[in-house]
């Protein structure tokens, strides 16, 4: 591949016309062809309903192919875990390991037989059950989805197996320099008591005691109808969606005490001065570098300006950071920056994997760019390119049923609807050069960053310390991956 795929920061749609026939007449190969006009943005129509027992319903009729996507989100994800990191994601993991009358094998066999994909997962704020299936098998697949949500078995043997698999997975994190860098930066930015300090999937200490009773109790406290929203997108009418879901989820009632997130009494930490954190991986072929600081909450009024600024700094292939580190210096295969959007500010990170013997030189370039975007205005050309990239770039992100459902759910996490797509385009268009510099000065760290370097310390430590970026500490792999939670 020419480059690793950068993930889209916000998903958007803009519609646009076909080929302009006028272009054919006057063709001059020495000049790029003009772009056609950008037609007004169109977003799918969403029908809202609510089942009598609580769950909300959002339906988009999308008839292109005989497919249906049903995504159930249940408010309350890893933030509920408090003293048991990883518990909610473990519950999500176990929902489809046996449910209703079927054991894990029977359930997966039946799903596959129907050509259905069903997955379960948890984020910091939601548990999600996602089903995609051909319309003709929707009823049968929904029966299985209802079993998974309402009647998971949590058989002791399955819980133990999945726990052991999870422990093996946590052990394997030690092999992955990117994962280690992520653990190190989160443990630096988020203090003890902050939910984002811990891995969403927990660690070995929190995973080892998980058992069937713990899982069932957590399930009853969090998988509840009043927290549920169904997003149905595909080849059916809203009335049919309501009828099919009502028949299967209409009697869903809450049981037992509700799980709630503990109040967050500590804030993310901005380093008092730049701080280097080394993690030793003897023999590593590269160094993984992550520069991080607290970011900002998604609901910030600066969201659009931050998106534009980040696109210029490191959020696109032709961004400053990727251009310098990859295309000018040849230090890396790619470099990028990004804000992680969560209800509480997630981290801002600038990261790359760089050749071991230019680890120090790479840091010099990183900090040049972090400073430059704060200290000088961006060019009008960069601003225009970033705006176009953000507003026109992803009209195809409403192309398929899963993408449309994905838009709905990711916006709903901030209590936003698809109308936000239009507002976002307007907000991006209003961003000025001064706005970009203002948000860079406010959110991009140049003197208060944590700098994680995962690599062969015998080779890189001296050069990095000679840069005198700030204080340096060493964290061991064992320490990063098995940190015990204070009770």
Interatomic CA distance for residues 199 and 197, integer angstroms: 7
Among 7, 17, 415, 487, binds another protein (CB under 8 A): 17
**Residue 377: alpha-carbon gap to chain centroid:** 30
Q: How far is the CB of 98 from another protein (least distance, A)?
A: 11
Dihedral angle sign, alpha carbons of residues 392, 10, 185, 202: negative
CB 295 within 8 A of CB 339: yes
Interatomic CA distance for residues 89 and 223, integer angstroms: 12
104 scored as a contact of another protein (CB under 8 A): yes
| DSSP per-residue string spanning 26-84 | S--TTSPPPPPP-PPP-----EEEE-TTS-EEEEEE--SSSEEEEEEEEE--GGG-TTS
Within 393-432, the residues that bind another protein by CB under 8 A are 393-396, 398-402
Interatomic CA distance for residues 367 and 461, integer angstroms: 18
Within 198-257, the residues that bind another protein by CB under 8 A are none
Among 48, 83, 101, 115, binds another protein (CB under 8 A): 115
Among 208, 285, 364, 474, binds another protein (CB under 8 A): 285
Neighbouring residues of 408: CB distance < 8 A, sequence distance ≥ 6: 46, 58, 60, 71, 231, 233, 418
Nearer to another protein, 275 or 353 (CB): 353
Among 83, 327, 429, 465, binds another protein (CB under 8 A): 327
Nearer to another protein, 196 or 389 (CB): 389
Nearer to another protein, 113 or 270 (CB): 113
Among 101, 299, 318, 357, binds another protein (CB under 8 A): 318
Size of the site for another protein (CB under 8 A): 92
Within 58-97, the residues that bind another protein by CB under 8 A are 64-67
Q: C-alpha angle with apex 186: 321 to 358, nearest 5 degrees?
A: 40
Question: Minimal CA–CA distance to 144: which of 123, 174, 116, 168?
Answer: 116
- The token pair at 438 is 């203002």
Among 194, 198, 216, 281, binds another protein (CB under 8 A): 281
Stretch that binds another protein, among 158-166, 270-278, 301-309, 434-442 (CB under 8 A): 158-166
CB 238 within 8 A of CB 49: yes
Q: How far is the CB of 258 from another protein (least distance, A)?
A: 31
Burial of 17 (0-12, 13-18, 19+ CB in 10 A): exposed
Q: How far is the CB of 179 from another protein (least distance, A)?
A: 10
CB 270 within 8 A of CB 293: yes
Among 75, 372, 392, 416, binds another protein (CB under 8 A): 392
Q: How far is the CB of 432 from another protein (least distance, A)?
A: 18
Q: How far is the CB of 177 from another protein (least distance, A)?
A: 6
Nearer to another protein, 29 or 484 (CB): 29
3-state secondary structure of 131: strand
For helices 303-313 and 380-392, give the axis angle rounded to 10 degrees.
110
Nearer to another protein, 31 or 484 (CB): 31
Q: Draw the binding track, 339-358, toward another protein (x: CB under 8 A; -: no contact).
A: --------------xxx---
| DSSP per-residue string spanning 312-356 | HHTSSTTSHHHIIIIIIS--EEEEEEEEPP-SS--EEEEEEEEEG
Among 114, 436, 439, 464, binds another protein (CB under 8 A): 114
Among 49, 368, 371, 385, binds another protein (CB under 8 A): 385
Nearer to another protein, 111 or 306 (CB): 111
């Amino acid at each position: 591949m020419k480059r690793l795929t950068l993930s889209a920061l916000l998903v958007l749609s803009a519609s646009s016309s076909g080929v302009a026939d006028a272009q054919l007449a006057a063709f001059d190969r020495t000049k790029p062809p003009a772009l056609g006009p950008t037609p007004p943005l169109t977003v799918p129509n969403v029908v809202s309903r609510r089942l009598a027992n609580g769950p909300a319903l959002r339906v988009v009729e999308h008839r292109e192919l005989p497919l249906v996507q049903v995504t159930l989100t249940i408010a309350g994800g890893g933030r509920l875990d408090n003293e048991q990191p990883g518990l909610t994601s473990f519950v999500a993991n176990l929902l489809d390991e046996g449910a209703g009358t079927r054991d894990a094998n029977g359930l997966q066999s039946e799903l596959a037989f129907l050509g259905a994909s069903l997955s379960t997962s948890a984020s910091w704020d939601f548990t999600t059950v996602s089903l995609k299936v051909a319309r003709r098998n929707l009823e049968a697949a929904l029966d299985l989805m209802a079993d998974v949500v309402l009647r998971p078995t949590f058989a002791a043997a399955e819980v133990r197996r999945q726990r052991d698999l999870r422990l093996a997975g946590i052990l394997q994190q030690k092999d992955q320099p990117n994962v280690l860098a992520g653990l190190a930066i989160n443990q630096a930015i988020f203090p003890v008591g902050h939910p984002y300090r811990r891995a969403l999937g927990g660690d070995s200490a929190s995973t080892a005691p998980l058992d069937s009773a713990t899982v069932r109790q957590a399930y009853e406290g969090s998988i509840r109808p009043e927290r549920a929203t169904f997003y149905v997108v595909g080849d059916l009418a809203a009335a049919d969606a309501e009828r099919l879901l009502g028949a299967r989820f209409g009697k869903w009632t809450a049981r037992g005490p509700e799980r709630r997130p503990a109040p967050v009494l500590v804030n993310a930490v901005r380093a008092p001065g730049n701080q280097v954190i080394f993690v030793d991986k003897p023999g590593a072929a590269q160094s993984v570098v992550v520069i991080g600081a607290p970011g900002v909450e998604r609901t910030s009024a600066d969201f659009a300006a931050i998106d534009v600024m980040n696109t210029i700094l490191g959020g696109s292939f032709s961004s400053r950071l990727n251009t310098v580190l990859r295309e000018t210096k040849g230090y890396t295969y790619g470099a990028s920056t990004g804000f992680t959007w969560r209800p509480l500010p997630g981290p801002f990170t600038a990261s790359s994997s760089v050749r071991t013997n230019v680890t120090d030189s790479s840091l010099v370039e990183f900090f040049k760019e972090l400073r430059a975007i704060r200290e000088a205005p961006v060019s009008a050309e960069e601003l225009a390119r970033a705006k176009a990239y953000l507003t026109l770039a992803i009209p195809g992100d409403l192309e398929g049923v899963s993408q449309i459902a994905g838009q709905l759910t990711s916006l709903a996490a901030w209590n936003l609807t698809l109308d936000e797509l239009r507002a976002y385009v307007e907000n991006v268009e209003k961003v000025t050069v001064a706005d970009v510099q203002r948000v860079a000065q406010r959110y991009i760290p140049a003197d208060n960053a944590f700098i994680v370097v995962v690599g062969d310390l015998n080779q890189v430590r001296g050069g990095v310390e000679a840069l005198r970026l700030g204080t340096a500490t060493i964290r061991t792999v064992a320490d990063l991956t098995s940190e015990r939670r204070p009770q």
